[in-house]
Structure 1
Amino acid sequence: MVLRSASLDTRERLIQAAIRLFGEYGFEATTTRELAEAAEANIGSIAYHFGHKRGLYLAAARHIAEQLRTRLALDVPAPAGERDAALAALRAVTRRMVRTFTEDEECRRWLLLVMREQVHPGEAFEILQAEAFGLVQATLGGLIARLTDRAVDDRRVILETHTLIGQIVFFLIGREPLLRRLGIAAFDAATLADIEAVIEGHLARYAAPDDDPASPRTT
C-alpha cells in the first residue's frame, strides 16, 4: 500500500511539473530531465507512468480538464422544466465560473499551458475541448437556448454563449490589468461580490418576459 501511494504521488508531482514547465517553455523546449528534476522523480518514472514525454503532456491536459469539470460541476445534469429552473442553473454555473477563475490559485497555474493550446491547437487542445471547454459551451448553451426559445445550435445562441464565457474567463486572463485599475493586490470579498453582480446584470436579460421587446428571444 505504501509503494502504491508513493507511486501515485510521483505521478501527481510529474503532472504538476508538466503543467508548469510546458506552460512556461512549451513542449519542445522542455526536456524529460527538467520534468523529472522539477517533480523530484527518477527520469524513468515518466516512461513508467506515461510512456513518453508526449504522454505526460496529454495527461496534464486531461488533469486540467478533469479539474475544471469538477470545479464547475459540469458532470451534473442540467435541470429540466421551467424557465425559472434554467435561469437558476445558469446563475449557479456562472457563479462557480467566477469563483474558479478569480480565486482558484491552481487554475491560474493552468493558464499558460491552456493559452499555448489556444494559440496552436494540437492533440492536447482536442482533449481540453472534448472533456472541458465543449462541456462548458454545451451546458451554458443549452440553458441559454432554453431561455431564448432557440435551438441549441442556433448561431445567436452559440455567439451569446461564447461571449458570456469570454466575459468571465477574462477575469483570469486579464487579472493583473484589472487589479491595477482597481488599485488592489488581489480580489477581495467586496470585489468578488461586485463581479458577480455585474455578471448577474448580464444574465437578467434572460429573465425578460415574453412580451418585452428587449427580450433576447425576439429577432
Structure 2
Amino acid sequence: MTLRPASSDTRDRLIQAGIRLFGEHGFEATTTRALAEAAGANIGSIAYHFGNKRGLYLAAARHIAEQLRARLFLGAAATPAPAEGRDAALKALRTLARRMVRTFTEDEECRQWLLLVMREQVQPGEAFEILQAEAFGLVQETLGGLIARLTDRSVDDRRVILETHTLIGQIVFFLIGREPLLRRLGLNAFDEAILADIESVITSHLTRYRRPPTPHASP
C-alpha cells in the first residue's frame, strides 16, 4: 500500500472544509481560523498550500469541477464520431443523462457541493468562471453537441442551447429539489426503485430524438 504524504492529506482536508464552510457561510464570513479548525490543521497550512483564503476558495471550485468531470466521464469518448450516426448519438445522450441522474441523486459528496455552487450561480465570480470553464461548459458542450446532431442544427443554435439547458435543469433539480420530492414520496432517501423511475422519466423525454428532424427555420 502506498501512503499519501501528510501534506497531501492536509490539503484535501482543507479543500473539503472549504467546500462546506464557504457553502454554508460565504467567502467573506468564513475565517481562516474556522477553515483550519474544521480541517484539523494549523492556520499556516492555508498559506502553505493555497497562498491565502481566496486561493483555497478557488481550489475548492477547481476540485468540484475536476470531480464532476470524472463522475460524468466528460471528454472525447463521451461523443461518438459523426460517422457512427443517429443511433450512436442517441445512445450516448441517454448514457450521459443516466450518469447525471445517478451523480445528482446518489452521490453524497455531490450534495455537499451544492451550497457553494448555488452561491456562485447567484453571484458569479472567479470561482464561477472556473466551474463554467472546467465543468459546466463541458456538460453543455457535450449534451449540446449530441442534441445538435440529433436535431440537425448547429451546436450554437439557440434552440439547441435551450433544449440542452432544459435537460440539465430537469436532472439537476433532483438534487436541488431533493427534500420536497422525498416529502411528496413519503421517503427519507431515494431507493433503487425510485432511482430507476427517475432514470426512466428522464430518458423518456429523449425519445423525441428518435425521429429524424423535420425541416426547420432558425429562430
Shorter-normalised TM range: over 0.9
Alignment-derived partner of residue 142 in structure 2: 139
SS in 1 for 2:74: coil
Residue equivalent to 2:18? 18
Identity over aligned pairs, percent: 81
Q: Distance in 2 between matches of 1:168 and 1:217?
A: 29
TM-score by length of 2: 0.94
User: What is the aligned counterpart of 1:154 among 153, 157, 182?
Assistant: 157
Counterpart in the other structure of 2:125: 122
Cα root mean square deviation, aligned: 1.4
Q: What is the identity, as a one-letter code, of the residue corresponding to 2:61?
A: A
**Which aligned pairs between 1:24-43 and structure 2 lie closer than 5 A?**
24-43=24-43
Hey, what does 1:93 align to over in structure 2? Answer: 96
Alpha-carbon shift at residue 75 of structure 1 (Å): 2.3
Secondary structure in structure 1 of the residue aligned to 2:206:
helix
User: Residue by residue, what CA displacement relative to the aligned partner does 1:73-95 show, whole Å, maximum 9, x if unpaired?
Assistant: 01243111200000000001000
- Distance in 2 between the 1:10 and 1:197 partners? 41
Helix, strand or coil for the counterpart of 1:184?
A: coil
CA distance in 2, matches of 1:4, 1:42: 19
Q: What are structure 2's unaligned runs of at least 5 residues?
A: none
The Cα shift of 1:136 comes to 0.3
The structure 1 segments of at least 4 consecutive aligned residues displaced by more than 2 Å after TM superposition are 215-219
**Structure 1: gaps of 5 or more residues:** none
Q: Which of 105, 109, 112 is matched with 1:106 structurally?
A: 109
Contact 1:205 1:216 survives alignment (8 Å) = no
- Following the alignment from structure 2 to structure 1, what is the Cα–Cα distance between the partners of residues 49 and 16? 14
TM-score by length of 1: 0.94
* CA distance in structure 2 between the aligned counterparts of 1:40 and 1:217, rounded to whole angstroms: 61
Among 143, 147, 164, the residue aligned to 2:167: 164
Q: Which residue of 2 aligns with 1:79?
A: 80
Counterpart residue type for residue 183 of structure 1: G
Distance 1:3 1:49 in 2: 19
Aligned residues: 213
Separation in 1 of the partners of 2:74 and 2:14? 26
Letter of the structure 2 residue corresponding to residue 95 of structure 1 = R
* Aligned-partner residue type, residue 61 of structure 1: A
